[in-house]
Structure 1
Amino acid sequence: MFSSQTFDFLAELTANNRRDWFVANQARYEALVREPALEFIAAMAPHLTRFAPHFRAEAKKAGGSLMRVFRDTRFSRDKSPYKTNVGIHFRHALGKDVHAPGYYVHLAADGCFLGVGCWHPEPVALGRLREAIAERPEQWFKVRNDPLFAASFALSGDSLTRLPRGYAADHPAREDLKRKDFIAIAPLVFDEVVAPELPAIVAQRFTAATPLMTFLCSALGVPA
């Protein structure tokens, strides 16, 4: 699967983020990045069937779980054409994009991590998530503070500075109701990424997030 050469390539891409360099090194990208990523995705499929049967591991070069290497530069001052990380998103079967509930793997030369949850959910979905927390704060706290989950993951993402309209200022979950992202992050160290057991390691950590994913999916009205 992944090796130290994967990260060497990503570091080189960071230093040479140009189309001419990438085209000249595309065979290396295929051998050191894309093929190992697709192998990893395929190996994750049976694990997801066990703990997250409604989430998909699709080992395809395009349109599957592996995110594109090409950056969308239309609205960015940074016009670098390529992403310098490997992004893998196991999204819900009913989801259409990265904003759907999902499990995420991020590999880069400057650090690796796992992510779970809903990143930048659309307004309607965001409202449903907040309503679920507002109506069932004790259940949310139980999920958020679950010892197995908290041992690996920490809640992350963007938040509002003020409480959204319609919620009491003294609501027990007022800080969580400010969230614009409902995601959690777990670190992944280099030795784990290059280990043959990587799929089992990732699956074990993702399994610890089952209570969170179940709560989020329930709030959105989709099966977990």
Structure 2
Amino acid sequence: MAKQYKHPSQIHKSGFDFLTALKKNNNREWFNAHKDVFLQEQALVEVFAEALLQELSSHDEIKTPSGKKSLHRIYRDTRFSADKTPYKTNWSGNFKRATKYRRGGYYFHIEPGNSFIAGGFWGPNPQDLKRVREDIAFDATPLRKIINSKSFKATFGTLKGEQVKTAPKGFEIDHEAIDLLRYKQFLLIRKFADKEVLNADFLKAANQTFKAMRPFFDYMSEVLTTSPNGEGM
């Protein structure tokens, strides 16, 4: 008989317990022996993901059709990895924004000791990266205003992501905005303690974190969907 939960759309400790056990027994024999537990816990995460999608859809247009569709597979692709353990030890998923005019993506990662809500641009293509850098080089003020705001700092701390070590091709090392021009990724990340994730208010906190990304997403979307002279692309 399925368990009854007072707050079905929250992350449950049983899900953490399963991931902890999986980390200690990351092999196919153990996983197959506990497949029924995995399916039960994954179903609970699907409920959370669906609730999060509904909250997110109240303030943004999302292409991802369901919480279930947002979830990533637990099976690892080990073909090109030195780590041959077959399973991920986290629950994760992402939501895609609708239409080419809404850029940026939303991501959630649930893992004992390493949970976070994130968003941004993980792997921008060369054309988009060049366009963003050109806008920053022309006038970094709009982006600085966003990332230096009290709400941004309180939620995300700083802009994160991989950076080039010196200066990207085509830009001077002594450019006044070189600190921003170095970024190859543009990530917004907010970490959560296990206690926070297991709290019934985590769904609300996750949605508020997504909502706090909008000024950054709106800026990037405008840059990436208009030409340098301000016309639509």
Which TM class, normalised by the smaller chain length?
0.7 to 0.9
Structure 2: distance between partners of 1:109 and 1:123: 35
Aligned-partner SS, 2:58: helix
Partner residue of 1:5 out of 11, 14, 32: 14
**Cα offset for 1:157?**
1.8
Measure, in 1, the Cα distance between the counterparts of 2:174 and 2:33. Answer: 59
3-state DSSP of counterpart to 1:115: strand
Matched residue of 1:93: which SS? coil
On the 8 A contact 1:48/1:56 being kept in 2, the answer is: no
* Structure with larger Rg: 2
Q: Does 2:47 align with 1:39?
A: yes
- Computed over aligned residues only, the root mean square deviation of the Cα atoms, in angstroms, reads 1.9
Give the match for residue 58 of structure 1. 66
8 Å CA contact 1:71–1:81 kept in 2: the answer is: yes
> Percent identity, aligned pairs only?
33
Uncovered stretches (5+) of structure 2, i.e. residues with no partner: 1-9, 227-233
Is the CA contact 2:94–2:107 (under 8 Å) kept in the aligned structure 1? yes
The DSSP-based 3-state class of the residue aligned with 1:133 is helix
How far, CA to CA, are the matches of 1:75 and 1:123 in structure 2?
24
Alpha-carbon distance between aligned partners in 1 of 2:111 and 2:57, rounded to the nearest angstrom: 27
Q: Does 1:207 align with 2:177?
A: no
Q: One-letter code of the match for 1:8? A: D
Equivalent of residue 48 in structure 1, options 39, 42, 56:
56
In the alignment, which of 105, 118, 121 is matched to residue 124 of structure 2? Answer: 121
Q: Secondary structure at the match of 2:70?
A: coil
- Alignment of structure 1 residues 157-176 onto 2, 5 Å: 157-176=161-180
Kept in 2: contact 1:155–1:183 (CA 8 A):
yes
Which residue is equivalent to 1:107? 110
> How does the TM-score come out when normalised to structure 1?
0.87
Residue 77 (structure 1) aligned to one of 65, 79, 82: 82
Structure 1 residue ranges (4+ consecutive) displaced by more than 3 angstroms after TM superposition:
54-57
Question: What is the number of equivalent residue pairs in this alignment?
Answer: 214
